[in-house]
């Protein structure tokens, strides 16, 4: 055993001063385990594999295998990023606990990013005005994030998605044209929301054009079957969440000067409270429900709501 970093955090300050080059990304907010190894802007390895409820059994073995594929030792990692959800509670905790433990033990910074943001980054964005990232929340609800695409403004520093040495799961991910598409400015207009698919359907109907990504697509398609097609300009694409998107988001945060916190302060963003808490705070729940309606109205009629908020 090498005798660097005696007890974890001591080595962190020194390491986080320089821009980390070698990143490990993890997301376990869905039945997929999403992983990537990125060096600078180069995706060295990226994979999505379905593990159902077997995240705990598989994740470290898969990290080990990925590292050996690109010939890195675990000590070579310089930074980590983990998807904070929302998504499956237990799934999220497996990923976040792994990321906390690894980053702490290695004495490297850990960044947390929204899994919905990463879904939006993973989408091919050309020619739509909105991206809606939605993840199945069960109990007839979805977690949703709304992103406005503003053309013409180019965000620098997003990683090159092609030329990964590892397995890349979807064909469009290797399409060089996509690099242009993902560099369009993607603005998140809300923090993640928990909504019923019908309400989300109403919101999407009002968008001039929208692209729907995430595991919530299957929930939405049930609604569409009942309600008829949403709009000719709304499409749902079967993209997978990409680990390199998590790294890109973390690098962007870092470029904006956000510092990593202690590993243990990176926690899941559950959005939904535990059932027991909801039972205790049922009245508050009604208030929250009204807020949800208010927000969706804002999405639908931004001009009206901006006028009212100026009041």
- Binding residues for other proteins, per CB under 8 A? 1, 3, 5-9, 54, 56-61, 63-64, 74, 89-90, 93-94, 96-102, 104-106, 262-264, 267-268, 270, 274-277, 280
Q: Residues for the chain: how many in total? A: 311
Nearer to other proteins, 4 or 227 (CB): 4
> Rounded to an integer, what distance in angstroms lies between the CA atom of residue 217 and that of residue 205?
15
Instruction: With both helix axes pointing from N to C terminus, report the angle between 282-300 and 302-310 in degrees, rounded to the nearest 10.
Output: 110
Nearer to other proteins, 67 or 296 (CB): 67
Q: Which helix (H) or strand (E) holds 309?
A: helix 302-310
Question: Are the CB atoms for 204 and 132 separated by under 8 Å?
Answer: yes
Nearer to other proteins, 218 or 279 (CB): 279
Q: How far is the CB of 278 from other proteins (least distance, A)?
A: 10
> Rounded to an integer, what distance in angstroms lies between the CA atom of residue 186 and that of residue 146?
10
Nearer to other proteins, 1 or 259 (CB): 1
Nearer to other proteins, 9 or 205 (CB): 9
For residue 83, what are the β-bridge partners?
Answer: 113
Q: How far is the CB of 115 from other proteins (least distance, A)?
A: 16
Question: Are the CB atoms for 207 and 127 separated by under 8 Å?
Answer: no
> Rounded to an integer, what distance in angstroms lies between the CA atom of residue 137 and that of residue 156?
33
What are the backbone angles phi and psi of residue 80, rounded to the nearest 5°?
-135, 155
- Burial pattern 70-92, b for ≥16 Cβ within 10 A else e, equals eebeeeebbbbbbbbbbbbeebb
Q: Indicate the SS3 state at residue 17.
A: helix
What are the backbone angles phi and psi of residue 102, rounded to the nearest 5°?
-65, -50
Q: How far is the CB of 59 from other proteins (least distance, A)?
A: 8
Nearer to other proteins, 77 or 220 (CB): 77
Q: How far is the CB of 73 from other proteins (least distance, A)?
A: 10
Q: How far is the CB of 261 from other proteins (least distance, A)?
A: 12
Q: How far is the CB of 226 from other proteins (least distance, A)?
A: 31
């Amino acid at each position: 055993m090498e005798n660097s970093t005696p007890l974890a955090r001591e080595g962190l300050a020194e390491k986080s001063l320089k821009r980390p080059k070698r990143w490990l990304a993890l997301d376990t907010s869905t039945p997929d385990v999403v992983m990537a190894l990125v060096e600078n802007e180069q995706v060295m390895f990226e994979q999505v594999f379905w593990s159902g409820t077997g995240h705990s059994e598989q994740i470290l073995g898969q990290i080990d295998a990925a590292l050996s594929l690109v010939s890195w030792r675990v000590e070579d990692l310089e930074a980590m990023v983990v998807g904070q959800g929302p998504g499956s509670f237990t799934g999220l905790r497996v990923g976040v606990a792994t990321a906390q433990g690894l980053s702490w033990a290695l004495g490297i910074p850990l960044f947390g990013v929204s899994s919905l943001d990463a879904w939006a980054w993973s989408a091919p964005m050309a020619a739509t005005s909105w991206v809606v990232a939605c993840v199945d929340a069960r109990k007839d609800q979805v977690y949703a994030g709304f992103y406005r695409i503003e053309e013409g403004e180019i965000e620098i520093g997003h990683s090159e998605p092609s030329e990964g040495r590892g397995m890349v799961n979807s064909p469009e991910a290797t399409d060089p044209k996509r690099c242009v598409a993902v560099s369009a400015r993607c603005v998140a207009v809300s923090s993640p929301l928990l909504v019923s698919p019908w309400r989300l359907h109403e919101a999407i109907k009002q968008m001039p054009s929208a692209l729907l990504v995430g595991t919530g697509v299957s929930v939405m398609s049930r609604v569409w079957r009942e309600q008829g097609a949403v709009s000719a300009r709304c499409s749902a694409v079967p993209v997978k969440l990409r680990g390199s998107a998590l790294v890109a988001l973390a690098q962007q945060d870092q470029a904006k000067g956000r510092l990593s916190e202690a590993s243990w302060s990176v926690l899941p963003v559950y959005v939904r409270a535990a059932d027991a808490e909801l039972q205790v705070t049922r009245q508050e729940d009604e208030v929250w429900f009204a807020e949800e309606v208010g927000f969706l109205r804002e999405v639908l009629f931004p001009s009206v709501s901006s006028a009212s908020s100026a009041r």
